[in-house]
Amino acid sequence: MERLHNKNITELLPHRKPFLFIDKVISIEGKNKIVAEKKISAGEDYFKGHFPGNPIVPGVLIVECMAQASGIISAYNMDEVKSIYFLSRISDLKFKHPVFPGDTLIIKAEVIGQFDQAIKTSVSCEVNGKIVAEGELVLTKKGG
Amino acid sequence: MERESDLELANRVKSMIVRAVKLKIVPDSIENDKFLFGGGLGLDSIDALELVIALEKEFGVRIPDSTVGKKVLVSVKTIVDYIKDTKSGKTA
């Protein structure tokens, strides 16, 4: 399979704006690990409400970043690209620090188990080398 | 001794199941022949993945594919048999 970091992100994920939460793939290690990036623009519409005068990236969107990175590596692990994976389980997720407009998220996902159509990943998000969120996700291939 | 060993293994498997899928029951309440999925304990396909991961982590036993998994992840008894067969070299 071709190197993923040379591909446009829309070739790797079925998501589209305004719900595309990966800008680019930085690296892939083996068939199990991915590092991706998402820059948080100060102009994101959700900052108007979360929260007025005190903009913070909603935790659920950080989860979505990690889920989309997991989706890319899951499809790659299964020798497919752009399959649709549904987020099926969130385990032991911790939010350690808030994320602000202008931050760049470094998103890491590693496949730690796979059975039938389900894949489990260990995930984390970092900003400036500091972990802001980490946990485990399970994704299930559509139709699985 | 063989029977005690099987009992101990079954108890470890029950504890693994409760821990892996976060069941709110005591391990001893799971009967050896009770179906784990569907109308038995009610586990689902995501729980199956958790069991596959836990089996490898806690017993060093790998389930190579879903065909084997569907035969092994039936009950405590089938899991115990698979662990024993794998450890003794009867199962690839």
> How does DSSP assign A74-95, residue by residue?
HHHHTT-SS--EEEEEEEEEEE
b/e code A4-13 from CB counts within 10 Å (16+ = b): beeeebeebb
Give strand pairing partners of A139.
A87, A119
* Domain assignments of chain B as residue spans, ordered by start: 2-88
Domain assignment of residue A132, given as a range? 4-141
- pLDDT 10s digit of each residue in chain A, 144 long? 456 666 788 888 889 999 999 999 999 998 899 999 999 999 999 999 999 999 999 999 999 999 999 999 998 888 776 678 999 999 999 999 999 999 999 999 999 999 999 999 999 999 999 999 999 999 999 865
Tally of domains in chain A = 1
Q: Report the complex ipTM.
A: 0.83
Note which residues in 56-115 of chain A have CB less than 8 A from chain B. Answer: 88-89, 112-115
Chain A residue closest in CA terms to B67: A116
Residue A82: predicted pLDDT: 64
Residue A31's domain is classified under what CATH number?
3.10.129.10
pTM score: 0.89
Q: Which residue has the higher pLDDT, A4 or B73?
A: B73
Taking contacts as CB-CB distances below 8 angstroms, the residues of chain B near A78 are none
Class at the top of the CATH hierarchy for domain B2-88:
mainly alpha
